[in-house]
């Protein structure tokens, strides 16, 4: 059986497609992350380029002509009211929507590192290793903390125990969880707190060294302390990863993201530096939404 540890979805294990062949998806990233701060209007070349994207659930158009360029080593927040299409777009980026019957892209393209992720010959399992995902509800495997991370590595072909041990530790450290669990690595992961489970899921995604991490409301089920730890982690992780986060918390989007995209009724209404979106949005709909006046 083929699995998709980075995507953290049992369903995705059934979506074997053609091999990626020799398509190069992910050219080397810039040596150092752009760090001109949240809200900066300077633009690095887009790692992810979305052009004219239409997405349908059956005959219902969920995304309408989305054009978006997402920069490497930045945190990009997708915001908007429920049903606006932000999670659908997020799932398009690692082809999680392939798992939904009668749903799909009918127009437009998504390129990551210059390569079309929906092109024939692209293996979605390989794609999801590179585009990790963390969900609203933490979903660790009902196994030990150690196994939650080692499992994906073994699937990837790692056999040397010392190397697996080393990667498990590095992933847990990168997810800021090592100090809390290093003395109980073989305890069941389900015994961890909600916030620890969510960080374990992030560690699991990091173990296969993705380039992009998608987060779909990762803190909505967490208390303020656990939320603060995840936000701190996001801030650290952006030095090495490109992060896209869907959130309903305006304050979270303002705190953690460098750029913010506001969606409404399947359309991208406004996209810009987070500071500009929250200090002086150019679209009245954006201002109404971030001010809590929407509806």
Return residues touching another protein (CB under 8 A): 250-251, 254, 278-281, 287-288, 290-295
Least distance to another protein, CB of residue 285, Å: 12
Residues in the chain: 295
Compute the distance between CA of residue 208 and CA of residue 133 in angstroms, rounded to an integer: 12
Taking the C-alpha atoms of residue 8 and residue 132, their distance in angstroms, rounded to an integer, is 8
User: Which residues pair with residue 214 across a beta bridge?
Assistant: 133, 244
Q: CB-wise, 87 or 260, nearer to another protein?
A: 260
3-state secondary structure 166-217: HHHHHHHHHCCCHHHHCCCCCCEHHHCCHHHHHHHHHHHHHHCCCCEEEEEC
Q: Quote the least distance from Cβ 291 to another protein, whole Å.
A: 6
Asked whether the beta carbons of 87 and 42 are under 8 A apart, the reply is no
- Please say which residue, 28 or 292, places its beta carbon nearer to another protein: 292
């Amino acid at each position: 059986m083929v699995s998709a540890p980075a995507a953290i979805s049992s369903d995705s294990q059934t979506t074997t497609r053609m091999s990626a062949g020799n398509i190069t998806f992910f050219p080397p990233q810039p040596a150092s992350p752009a760090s001109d701060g949240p809200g900066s209007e300077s633009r690095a070349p887009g790692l992810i380029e979305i052009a004219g994207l239409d997405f349908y659930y059956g005959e219902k158009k969920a995304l309408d002509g989305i054009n978006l360029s997402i920069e490497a080593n930045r945190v990009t927040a997708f915001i908007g009211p429920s049903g606006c299409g932000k999670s659908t777009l997020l799932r398009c980026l690692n082809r999680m929507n392939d798992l939904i019957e009668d749903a799909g892209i009918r127009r437009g393209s998504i390129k990551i590192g210059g390569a079309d992720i929906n092109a024939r010959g692209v293996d979605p399992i390989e794609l999801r290793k590179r585009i990790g995902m963390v969900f609203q509800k933490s979903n660790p495997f009902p196994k030990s903390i150690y196994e939650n991370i080692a499992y994906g590595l073994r699937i990837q072909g790692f056999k040397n125990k010392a190397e697996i041990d080393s990667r498990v530790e590095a992933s847990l450290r990168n997810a800021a969880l090592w100090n809390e669990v290093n003395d109980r690595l073989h305890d069941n992961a389900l015994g961890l707190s909600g916030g620890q489970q969510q960080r374990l899921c992030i560690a699991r995604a990091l173990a296969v060294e993705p380039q992009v991490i998608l987060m779909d409301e990762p803190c909505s089920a967490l208390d303020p302390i656990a939320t603060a730890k995840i936000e701190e982690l996001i801030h650290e992780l952006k030095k090495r990863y490109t992060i896209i986060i869907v959130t309903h918390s305006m304050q979270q989007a303002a705190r953690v993201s460098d750029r913010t995209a506001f969606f409404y009724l399947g359309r991208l209404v406004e996209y810009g530096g987070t500071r500009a979106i929250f200090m002086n949005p150019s679209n009245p709909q954006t201002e109404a939404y971030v001010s809590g006046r929407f509806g």
